[in-house]
Amino acid sequence: MALPNSYTLKPNAIPGYFDAILDAQAPERFSIKFLENLGFTNTNDRLLIGILKDLGFLNADAVPQQRYYEFLDRSRSRHVLAEAIREAYADLFSVNTKANELSADDVKNKLRTLYTGKKTDLVVGNIAKTFNALCEYADFSKPLQSKAIPTPEPEKSQKSEAKVEKAPAESIRSVEGAIRLESLQYHINIVLPESRDQSVYDAIFKSLREHLGSRHG
């Protein structure tokens, strides 16, 4: 299930949390001590660490991940958070692609169905309020970008052959030091018919001399 278990009892503090993260250097580990150094000393503030893990900012050991560092770029921090919310609450967005615009009550009703009774109504309400607070801080103005699947390139030998076939004869002649068409040699393999009549072979070779001779004459 792509739904978080984390929530905060202080949803109004969400902007302050993320603003403080932007103002500080990323730590080696996002510990309670680091959180207190940011100015959040209340025990309820510690719930932020679980939220950051669900959003992909931190790994299970609370070590900052790539998304954390992308968030520190102020020019796109709120877009990065929006992308993280879409991923963390993917099941909710699958029900409503504009879930970020829903009211807290509407979000709670959707989550109540998605959690299928696995969480109490109080917890679901706290998760809904946390979701709304995160969405208010994030910027969803940019559409979700799908990751393009790279198209495998043909093998180098195949590409080289294609270029040779498409190259005009004039370009081959004009390249200094390159192979000239006039200097090319070719070999012709002839499968002779079975016959005891020598005149048959004489006629074949005579015809070859005439045709090949006329081309090189």
Q: State pTM to two decimals.
A: 0.66
Region label for 76, one of left (φ > 0), alpha (ψ between -120 and 50) or beta (otherwise)? alpha
What's the pLDDT score for residue 45? 98
Given CA atoms 98, 137, 58, 77 in this order, what sign does their dihedral have? positive
- CA distances to 68, 147, 153, 158 from 150, in Å: 26, 9, 9, 19
Contact indicator for 55, 88 with CB cutoff of 8 Å: yes
What's the pLDDT score for residue 99? 96
Residue with tokens 């929530």: 7
Contact indicator for 4, 91 with CB cutoff of 8 Å: no
Q: What residues contact residue 215 under an 8 Å CB cut-off, 6+ apart?
A: none
Contact indicator for 30, 52 with CB cutoff of 8 Å: yes
Q: What is the pLDDT along the chain (217 residues), one digit of tens a residue?
A: 578 999 999 999 999 999 999 999 999 999 999 999 999 999 999 999 999 999 999 999 999 999 999 999 999 999 999 999 999 999 999 999 999 999 999 999 999 999 988 999 999 999 999 999 999 999 999 765 544 434 445 444 444 444 444 545 444 444 444 445 455 555 566 666 666 667 766 777 777 777 666 555 5
Residue 194: phi and psi, rounded to 5, are -75, 120
CA 61, CA 202: separation in Å to the nearest integer?
A: 89
